[in-house]
Amino acid sequence: MATGPAYSKIDVTQENGVAIVRLRERKILDERNIMVLGNELLSLPRGGATKVLINFQGVTYLSSAALGKLITLDREIKRHKGQLKLCEVPLPTLDVFKVAKLDDFFEIYRDQRSALESFR
């Protein structure tokens, strides 16, 4: 059985051509961890994933540097003619998106099922 790349900060599954990403850390604060996370996320479109859904379930805090990595990921996915969507963003984390005025920049869905349906 073939396996994908080994990641330390994310778990990736596939469903109907969509790469579903779950973040392993509850608080994404540390600069080094954010750099590793960013590299792992960017490997997705560079590896051919053009439909990416990040599920934020369990993430309690996201730093502004981590938001920057998401913006970079969105640009890279769009460069590959793809789409990035987010789902299950807990309220405290959603507040970070709102303060940064990114809640309108990203497509954010309440649950994974509705986010997956939106890719069709």
Domain edges within the chain? 10-118
Question: What crossing angle do the helices spanning 64-79 and 31-46 adopt, rounded to 10°?
Answer: 10
Pairing of strands 10-15, 18-23: antiparallel
What is the C-alpha separation between 17 and 28, in angstroms, rounded? 27
Domain 10-118 has CATH 3.10.180.10: no
- Looking at per-residue pLDDT, the higher value among 4 and 82 belongs to 82
Q: Look at residue 46 in the predicted model and tell me its pLDDT.
A: 93
CB atoms within 10 A of CB 97: 20
pLDDT digits (tens, 9 = 90+) for 20-78: 999 999 988 889 999 999 999 999 999 999 999 999 999 988 888 999 999 999 999 99
Sign of the alpha-carbon dihedral angle for 96, 98, 103, 109: positive
Please provide the average confidence, as pLDDT, over all residues in the chain.
92
Closest CA to 73 of 104, 100, 37: 37
**Residue 2 confidence (pLDDT) above 50:** no
Confidence of residue 93 (pLDDT cuts 50, 70, 90): confident
Beta strands in 8-97 (DSSP E): 10-15, 18-23, 27-28, 51-55, 61-62, 83-87
